[in-house]
Chains A and B, each alone.
Chain A
């Protein structure tokens, strides 16, 4: 069904494209938000990605490859958003408007703050790989396809990003543990 929609959209059917937006928009937005950690910039990135997808869709030779192609557009749009704002902004910790809003008991306010700061220190390239693997669950080869780098580079980025995020939690835990220790 999706392939047929892509073929119709490729031929200029904007109704079919609207259905694709309906099908893929949520995941694209989830990816963009998690890379950028900012609601408005994520919306801008998704909008740019879909507009570019519509315009360039006739060049997509294989409709089966629509999803990785679209994810690539989203990731590239996120890079552009990040580049545009990186010199003037610090990490935004905008709370989600329709998500669990931090109700997960696994997470404390300190956890969020620690992870937000650690994530903010990653490059957008590392963030993209981290999100596509840990949140979307894509295999490494698929991530390489999406971000346009060799699998070895994906492995390296994923290793670095995951290690940095884990290290932030561990370091924070050790500090908290020492502070809690009686004198």
Chain B
């Protein structure tokens, strides 16, 4: 290659390469699966919208189809109907699934397939059954889908108000929800099970967090008949569900003082444990504490590498301004940070991290950096002083004069992590941060343990 070449035609040519026709075998497999998989039916044809003659034709045809279908099976189908079951579903042989992301454990039938969520659920973006944010469980043959997740709600929100708002996003018939609702409990917490027209869902508000479990079938759907119907199946799920003590999902917001052991970093790549004194909050990425006039007087943020280290944290938006610290050691990150403009870096020092059981189990490095005290952050690109990116793992400093202790821990081997993956911890304080808060930062850092123990 030569330096004068335009990258865009090269990118286009590279993208154009590759197969463009679906292989015949795959096509055939799809069509075979189609013929052996039943569709998820919904009530789209309402009889009062159809002429009586047409409705009669449809009804007669439907009855004929049912009779022919059952005769085709030999005898009338003996598959159970929801009313045929007495008592709760037997869940003693179910498999337990732990959701660190949403802060609960839940059982599912052993032959169902787990489909873990891959991002955090939000009302705005994930309010449909297709979302991959929720923890999912699929019955054999993908005949039934159950999902579970949790989401923080605004303090003071009632469960009824939240369910109504949710309903109006996900479905078209939200009138008279109270008539379709029955009480349930989950791990001792009261909640509501709503029999929607198209599916069955349970909502349990615990503190300022709503837990939702859904079976994406109406109660009468034949696919759930072997479980006694969607309601009974959903109640089975709820009976196996327990909130995880100390999980990030449960404790988003102000934390009680104490030790926490189940915090997951960036989609569960690593786990961290720490002990916090009073007054600290957790937002899913960082521990923060306010003091004086500062809403964030101190912060301790956790990131999973790799990251893009910006050569100039103030002028970071240029295409070549970032160095990707990819599959490299903590040394490489220290070198890249030490080379950033205007950070006044200290020499990197060795700083190992503890696992849950072994002190100093993980090798690491630490460096001290600053944001220039006289810098007007509004003059930086987009008003942000960025230590590193990318957007999903962004470290934006809160203000001029901020002091960062960046601690990179190499977590390698053990068959779980990819060699070279890093846990990056950034502890930020300001010149006017009270000394007792600075001391608390040091104590929290000293309490940190990390590893993969999910």
Which A residues fall within an 8 A CB radius of B?
12, 14, 17-18, 21-22, 25-26, 28-30, 33-34, 39, 42-43, 46-47, 50-52, 54-59, 72-73, 76, 79-80, 83, 87, 96-102, 104, 106-108, 110-112, 115, 121, 123, 125-126, 131, 134-135, 148-150, 156-157, 160, 162-167, 169-174, 176-177, 180
Contact = CB atoms under 8 A, between A and B. Distances in A.
* Number of chain B interface residues as a range: 35 or more
Contact of A123 (B16, B17, B198, B392): B392
A156 B37 contact: no
Interface of B: 1-5, 7-23, 25-27, 29-31, 33-35, 37-42, 44, 115-116, 118-119, 124-126, 129-132, 142, 198, 306, 319-320, 322, 324, 326, 389-392, 416-418
- Interface on chain A toward B: helix, strand, loop, or mixed SS? helix
Given A80-B115, A166-B11, A176-B1, A59 B198 contact: yes
- Interface on chain B toward A: helix, strand, loop, or mixed SS? loop
19 contacts: A14-B34, A14-B35, A25-B30, A26-B21, A46-B30, A54-B37, A55-B39, A59-B42, A80-B115, A97-B19, A121-B306, A121-B324, A131-B15, A134-B11, A160-B390, A165-B11, A166-B319, A167-B319, A176-B1
A93 to B, nearest CB: 11
Contacts of A21: 22, 27, 30-31
- Closest A-B pairs by Cβ, 8 of them: A25-B22, A169-B7, A177-B3, A106-B13, A29-B22, A166-B7, A96-B18, A43-B26
A173 B2 contact: yes
B130 A87 contact: no
Contacts of B142: 51-52, 55
Contact of B10 (A98, A107, A149): A107
A176 B16 CA distance: 24
B3 A164 contact: no
A56 B392 CA distance: 31
Contact of B40 (A33, A47, A55, A115): A55
Contacts of B118: 79-80, 83
B30 A55 contact: no
Contacts of A14: 31, 34-35
Given A47-B29, A110-B1, A54 B17 contact: no
B156 to A, nearest CB: 26
